[in-house]
Chains A and B, each alone.
Chain A
Amino acid sequence: MACAAALLGAVIPSLASPPFVPRLQEIPLRLELRGITKRFGDLVANDHIDLTVEPGEVHALLGENGAGKSTLMNQLYGLLQPDEGEIVVDGVARTFRSPRDAIAAGIGMVHQHFMLVPVFTVAENIALGAEKTRAGFLDRRRARREVLEVSERYGLPVDPDALVENLPVGAQQRVEIVKALTRDVDLLILDEPTAVLTPQETEELLEVMRGLSDAGKSIVFITHKLKEVKAIADRITVIRRGRTVAPSNHPATAHNRTEAYFSPQTSEEELASTMVGRAVSLDIDKAPAEPGREVLKISGLVVEDERGVRAVDGVDLVVRAGEVLGVAGVQGNGQTELVEALMGLREPRAGSIMVDNENLIGMSTKHILRSGIGYVPEDRSHDGLVKEFSVAENLVLDQYDRPPYGNAFRLDPGAVATAARERVEQFDIRTSSAEAAVSTLSGGNQQKVVVARELSRPLRLFIAAQPTRGVDVGSIEFIHGRIVHERDVGTAVLVISSELDEVVGLADRIAVMYRGRILAIVSPDTPREELGLLMAGITDGGTPATGSPAPGTPATGSHAPGTPATGSHAPGTPATGSHAPGTSAPGTSAPGAATPGAATGGAATGGSGAVAPGGGAAASDDDKPAAGDGAAEKGTK
């Protein structure tokens, strides 16, 4: 991911630095939203929103959860009807009663949650809803041909015969995009497309978006991730509480809100604070750590996944009281299994897990939680929360049978309610009441419920896996603050994240995990390039660290330019040299996303090199110092 992030940064100047110029105008579609207003009862979800999308433009719609982005797009797609305002397509005002109307007008949408039938093939899914028949029978061949045509034309590799349920998430999303494109749409709405993607898949998606916009399609890109916006968008509209927000220094703000957009050059800080409505610090403020005793000591840990593959392969780690150990790594390199083994959710094959000289192996999850270990699981809706339960109940989900909340037989609803009110206050959980079902909360507030639950008892060790995944900027800041606070009171903290920024910002030491092993433990001041290489399995020698089990993995066409620049690696080592050209085959991208540890974003970034020839090398020169500064800055704070 590091390399992805580095390169992601790298492409900004090369691709998006000139002010917006419409690209190839093969099929122009100019969209204007004028004064769109939508009310739900007393709540004004959209308040006179004006928005123009030029042909071939990537227009980012940025806003926190619940700001009204999705509502706006649902009106554009015909799922909702605006109370006021008009939708103008190519100068003609249109009314969309249903998505069918929108598609007919050339507008397609890819939803955050895919609308695919898992047991159908890709071609069947794409044909679904627009089946072509021949003599009453389904024309499968024609469906296949269409899929192949579209995927060829826009460079979206999909296998028309694969079953959707067997595809990784990124590929499913490509299917959704192909599906929209087969309906001949010229404007594509992507609703938080990256929320479910791994970093490599995200990089691939951004590549696809560039390709589409080069082909003249306009894209409305809804997100709350600033990096992606800066990487891809031509213009940025920020929505806060149902209104568009103009840049503070914009001359035209007062009288012409149509012009209220940001350029991708706007700093992340400014975008974030515009989104949230107050100053947001993207850097994590923390004092130097004061590590104490060794709390967690993992030695020789081996854990297998469901298929019997060694997901964790001999891990040794120590986490001290009062420090944050960050585990960085591309997802699927054994982090999940490591944490599950720590929590007693998965039985290790070998090794020991000692917490203050007590072996956790063989203990039940309940016992482990009781012994002063807090755990934020990586997937909150699957493992962290019971959605049907109230906020109050979720706040005691692993404490319900302990005083003061209850005992082995009965609960004390009064105590649960009192504690809930306190936590809601303390952790700034935005909810109508503590009795509301937790599913009514936004993602960020749901995550705060999990964090509040785990941090509201005395802990020796706090394990947070992906603590801010799918969480809005304001909540991220808050959760990071709480994690640092927990460290400062002397708890040992283990943070596992695939967001490199998060690991670098939070950790006092970073353990890089690759293919089930800890490749290195480095300081957070380490340059990003180096971290990126480690995450891709390249150690200082320029050879893949795990050697034998990873034939042909290092897929680092993208790293090659970076390597000489950083200087810390042996430049021109035959090993690196041979990998660079050999492995950047773009075709490997799809399986790479599926198999753990394979082709760490290499294929994707290699692809970007193909789109902008030579841009990669030039860009990394631009980018390297910037990223280095960023890292150093964060490290010293």
Chain B
Amino acid sequence: MTTDGPVGAPKIADETAADSATDAAAPGPVGAKPAHDEPGDGDTLLNRFLQNLWAANTVTVTVLSVVLALVIGAIFIIVSDPDVLSTFGYLTARPSDAFDASWTVVSDAYADLFKGAIVDPATITAWANGTGTWRQVFFPISETLTYAAPLVFTGLSVALAFRGGLFNIGGQGQAVVGTITAAMAGFFLPLPPVIHLIAALAAGLLGGALWGFVPGILKARTGAHEVIVTIMLNYTANLFLGWLILQKGVQQPGRSDAISKTVDGDAQLTSFGGELRANLGILLAVLATAVVAWLLNRSAFGFELRAVGANPPAARTAGISVARTYTLLMVTAGGLAGLGGATQVLGTAHALTPQVAGNIGFDGLLVALLGRNRPWGTLLAAILFGALRAGGNRMQSFSGISLELVTVLQALIVIFIAAPALVKAIFHLRAARSARLGASMAKGW
């Protein structure tokens, strides 16, 4: 109990107010609908669209979160540039200097972010003049998709587990094991082309699935909390990778540093050639998104996992085996993260290093949050993260802004997404019925 007691009462009261407002509105079938469909007053499709746009729906809040993050990011860019900062020293004397300098540095930075992530108009001109190639035009997109592909898998892994009521924080470990098994299959198995690639991908999937099975079965049989088990398995996987790379037979012959042999060419994910690093991984990612979407909404297993995720006792009473669902769910989630690791090592890295999986497992958590645990949302979120990463690289090399700013931007976006009330308050959005944002994340902890 705290001494700031008096504050407590109104808080409780507010909550009840909100509760009872919804309660009161619930009985009438559509009672809760605010009075925004005024009859007669231009109830056109366009009108409705605009109204919906400004209602606090998921898409609007997400877009505004990105905008807000960019605005705050701009402040950071200005503050972190000593030259621009110095112009603020004589702000009162010549304010235009400060504003011009700020505008220049921010617009340059964000222009580079865009050019690095989507397209650089200069390359189009060059291609049209015959001085450049089409590859240069598509290079930024290629980079974006390259970074996005593994994130799609790890994001789906987290999202799927979350829908089943499990917090899979072990995407990192599962992805790492996926990279290991996929790479090993890639340089040990003597298989013909195509089959070799399929075998390597399958190995990645199985490796991740195995790493997901452990917390799954422990949760189902003993009730061990999946968060703790998966965190521990993350360490285990990382340290195992570090040890494995240095073993004879695995380590690249003739190298003393921690790098493994290279995956056979026919086990690598085909890329588009040249400087375009984007590979089959992104197509697999889209495919995986479709499969997960089907699994969630159209399959018996998806029904079971959603029921277990929302109300385990009711699922059990309806004859659904909660233990079986948890185990199967973690296996599936682990398999997805494992595939993410496989696309990383078979698509871009081609060899194991201690940092081969980067941060894709943990970024997957953010991607799933940003995508609101929906498969297609997760895909889009992963592409956004990929774009920030790709654009960030260019921003760093051209505008001299550190790559960490991109991480800051990502963090800001996620914070705003996680606090939709903040975004709504800033933009005075009308509360829409679909605006139960963040509610999904509140559960499970």
Contacts and interface: CB of A to CB of B under 8 A. Distances in A.
Which of B32, B310, B319, B321 lies at the interface centre, i.e. has the most chain A CB atoms within 10 A of its CB? B319
Contact of B9 (A100, A375, A409): A100
A269 interface: no
A138 B1 contact: yes
A83 B293 CA distance: 46
B318 A40 contact: no
A79 B16 contact: yes
Contacts of B17: 74, 79-80
Nearest to A113: B19
B80 to A, nearest CB: 43
A384 B317 contact: yes
A389 B300 contact: no
Contacts of B26: 66, 440, 442
Contacts of A130: 5-6, 9
B83 interface: no
Given A128-B1, A128-B8, A129-B8, A70 B29 contact: no
Contacts of A440: 26, 29
A397 B318 contact: yes
A362 to B, nearest CB: 15
B28 A40 contact: yes
Given A41-B33, A45-B24, A345 B317 contact: yes
A345 B315 CA distance: 11
A351 interface: no
Interface string B17-43: 100110111111111111100000000
Interface in A305-349: 343, 345
A65 B28 CA distance: 10
A364 B317 CA distance: 10
Interface in A104-147: 111, 115, 120, 124, 127-131, 133, 136-138
Given A345-B316, A386-B307, A389-B306, A70 B28 contact: no
A383 B314 contact: yes
A566 interface: no
A71 interface: yes
A398 B35 CA distance: 38
Contact of A124 (B1, B298, B300): B1
Interface of B is mostly: helix
A470 B5 CA distance: 35
B12 interface: yes
Contact of B16 (A115, A128, A370, A400): A115
Contacts of A263: none
A409 to B, nearest CB: 6
Contacts of B310: 386-389
B311 A409 contact: no
Interface in A43-91: 43, 45, 65-68, 70-71, 74, 78-80
A137 B2 CA distance: 9
A571 to B, nearest CB: 46
Interface string A339-369: 0000101000000000000000000111111
B3 A41 contact: no
Contacts of A13: none
B16 A111 contact: yes
Contacts of B311: 382, 385-388
Nearest to B300: A401
A413 B29 contact: no
B96 interface: no
Contact of A406 (B5, B23, B30, B300): B300
Nearest to B17: A79
B308 to A, nearest CB: 9
Name the interface size band of chain A.
35 or more
B25 A43 contact: yes
Chain B CB within 10 Å, residue with most, of A130, A131, A408, A430:
A131
A386 B12 contact: no
Interface string A209-247: 000000000000000000000000000000000000000
A71 B25 CA distance: 9
Contact of A71 (B1, B8, B20, B314): B20
Contacts of A66: 26-28
Nearest to A430: B29
Contacts of A40: 21, 24-25, 28, 31-32
Nearest to A408: B300
A127 B300 CA distance: 50
B3 A131 contact: yes
A410 B299 contact: yes
A364 B321 CA distance: 9
Given A40-B31, A128-B1, A366 B320 contact: yes
Nearest to B22: A440
B303 interface: yes
Nearest to B13: A99
B265 interface: no
Interface in B296-354: 297-304, 306-307, 310-311, 313-321
Nearest to B26: A440
Nearest to A380: B314
Given A386-B307, A386-B311, A409-B299, A131 B1 contact: yes
Given A79-B16, A138-B1, A398 B319 contact: yes
Interface string B185-225: 00000000000000000000000000000000000000000
B318 A99 contact: no
A345 B302 CA distance: 23
A127 B314 contact: no
B60 to A, nearest CB: 21
Nearest to A39: B35
B307 A397 contact: yes
Contacts of A366: 319-321
Contacts of B13: 78-79, 98-100
B16 A407 contact: no
Nearest to B29: A432
A393 interface: yes
Contacts of A41: 25, 31-35
Nearest to B14: A98
A427 B275 CA distance: 64
A295 B320 CA distance: 25
Residue from B16, B24, B298, B306 having most chain A Cβ neighbours under 10 A: B24
A425 interface: no
A138 B298 contact: no
20 contacts: A40-B25, A40-B28, A45-B24, A45-B25, A70-B20, A74-B24, A79-B17, A100-B10, A127-B5, A129-B5, A129-B9, A366-B320, A366-B321, A384-B317, A386-B310, A389-B306, A400-B304, A407-B300, A409-B299, A411-B299
Given A80-B24, A388-B310, 19 more contacts: A41-B25, A41-B31, A43-B31, A66-B26, A79-B20, A111-B16, A129-B8, A130-B5, A131-B1, A136-B3, A138-B1, A367-B319, A369-B319, A383-B316, A386-B311, A387-B311, A407-B300, A411-B299, A431-B29
Interface of B: 1, 3, 5-6, 8-10, 12-13, 16-17, 20-21, 23-35, 297-304, 306-307, 310-311, 313-321
Q: Rank and list the top 10 A-B pairs by shortest CB-CB distance, nearest first.
A: A66-B27, A366-B319, A432-B29, A131-B5, A129-B9, A398-B318, A43-B31, A71-B24, A43-B28, A383-B317
